[in-house]
Chain A
Amino acid sequence: MKFSRLVLANLFRKKVRLILTIGSFAIALVLFTFLAVVKSAFSRGTEIAGADRLVVVSRIGLMQLMPISYRDKILAIPGVKAVTHNHWFGGVYQDEKNFFPQFVIDPENQRQVMTELVVPDDQWNNFLKDRQGAIAGARTAARFHWKIGDRIPIKTTLYGGGASEFNLDGIYHSERPGGDESQFWLQWKYFDENAPGPVKSTAGWYVVKLDNPDDAVRVAKAIDEKFANSSFETKSETESAFAAYFVKQFGNIELLILAIGSIVFFTLLLVTGNTMAISVRERTSELAVLKAIGFSGRAVLYFVLAESVIIALVGGFIGLTLAYLAIPVIGLALTGLLPPLILSKSVLTLGLGFALLVGAASGLLPGIGAMRMRVVNALRRV
């Protein structure tokens, strides 16, 4: 376009200022992207949870155990397709900071319920035959460079104390993008044999697969009613409600991230808005000459907007590129502390939209000022 040279020339008027403004955008965008990625990491559990699954926990609390006999009773309820049960194992691999979730699973029903977590059949069959077998999620296996056949020592107070060794028989992948690939599965039978009295013949929680997701409320109610007034009352909810509840245990992360994000947004808006205002004010007479020559007020507004939007897009692009490069590294450093950080297309788009919005908003006020400015007054102001 024939006006582009004018816009570009004005952009490069003060190079240091240009670089600083673009830099502010870039840094803000890195921050923004990181926050968005963390937020989506925490809420992902809720988003990807199966709509056709219920989680049944003890009414008293997450860590309370329930009799193993509930399994068959739940299975008898109409609308239930399959039931599996889990225990929280809570051992330590080498060091406390190497945390990953360890679940004692029920091999007979695991694959019927958790259908999206797939293990190749040969690996699964080896696991079934191996009392001390284990299956790791792909992410955890990669994190510690485990290969199938490795012996994995886990420190636990169970099994007579000290470290127990498990054989890595298989690695599972999640077919759902963003699914949890960090779990470590152990055999329930072996666990139960070694469990101390109160833990014997129990389940930490049940996961129920439904025939039809529309039945979720009815079945959940039926389960809880069935065990009402018993010594082990239950609380059943959909997996996504459970995941949301679980995230809340970390405190209100969403609100925190939203608050920090808003601060970033408004700071950037103030910084760039101020810069644009100064940059327009110092060339008032030039803009007046343009208008005298016959450029319309709207044209002058567009010139100012074009400048701020270009700054925003360039800064935004640099910031997103930096984030794109940095987030996998940060994510790796934070493994175990945070769920996997995934920079999705929608976050990138959101970031670019964020930059555009700030760019346009920061150019709008000075631009409208320039549009309304009267040539006569501007040229008189010496």
Chain B
Amino acid sequence: MPRKEVLRIEKLKTHYYTLGGIVKAVDGVDLRVYKGELVALVGESGCGKSTLAFSIMGMVPPPGRIVSGKIYLSDINLVELSDEELRKIRWSKVSMVFQGAMNSLNPVMKVGDQIIEAMLYHDVISRPEEGRSTVKHLFELVGLDPNRIDSYPHELSGGMKQRVVIAMAMALNPDLIIADEPTTALDVTTQAKIMEVLKDVQKKTGVSILLITHDLPLVAEVSDRVYIMYAGKIVETGDVFTIFKSPRHPYTQGLIGAVPSIRGPKKKLVALPGEPPDLRFPPPGCRFHPRCSKAMDICGKKEPPRIEFGPDDFVSCWLFAKEGERK
């Protein structure tokens, strides 16, 4: 089955040029999302997940910038676009639900107007009134009362705001939604409901979703494929069964091992022993080797090769390299 590629990232590097040094937050990432897929991006705090997301949106905050690499969104390389071209792509092709989405709504504007506005400035409609029926449909899609269109954010509960944000992300029928820890600020029951909404929206519209999260049980439940990120690099990827049933990278094993069972009670990610490295001065060789229980000599000297097992199925680890290469 030939699958249509929605997003293809090649060798992306995004660094922050701070006074204290260059923070290599994204350092050579390859990632692909196909149509209708839910792809999870998992990694410890500070490994560069949000930076990757901002790179795709073309809005890496200064002092950061994309150093090299390519980001293809249905065959358009976003890295080469001008500001105005980028502005037009944003939200129409790729929208985003932000980390801490509770605060993504402007407190002094009606929620409906905030959605209509996106349509207006992408020339989908020419007058605000024309957008109202679309917004009501979107509200129904995410399970919100359409009469809430003229509410202000403070009149809504956290879960309702989150639904508005998802509705807003769908306003222009994008190919891809990036959801950066979309449920962190919510209580557990609401979290589950919101994830259901997101899955439901995906089923009805066929939109692809890149889900960024720490929540491994959630990943196991909802995603099709998983990328494991560590210190600015993708260390392993595969379909959700491979990753959870037979994880190959010691880091992935550590993450999964920290969660008792996929079906078991949800539990916060237990930190692996040790600290993630300072991304200004990452360790030489494999960035994980100082924390790795299976580290060998070579791991601290040379960067591990990428061992491919199939399309979109690889691990970057010396353990899987042929004997002859481990020198």
The reply to whether chain A is a binding partner of chain B is no
Could you list which residues of chain A lie within 8 angstroms of chain B, going by C-beta atoms? none
Could you list which residues of chain B lie within 8 angstroms of chain A, going by C-beta atoms? none
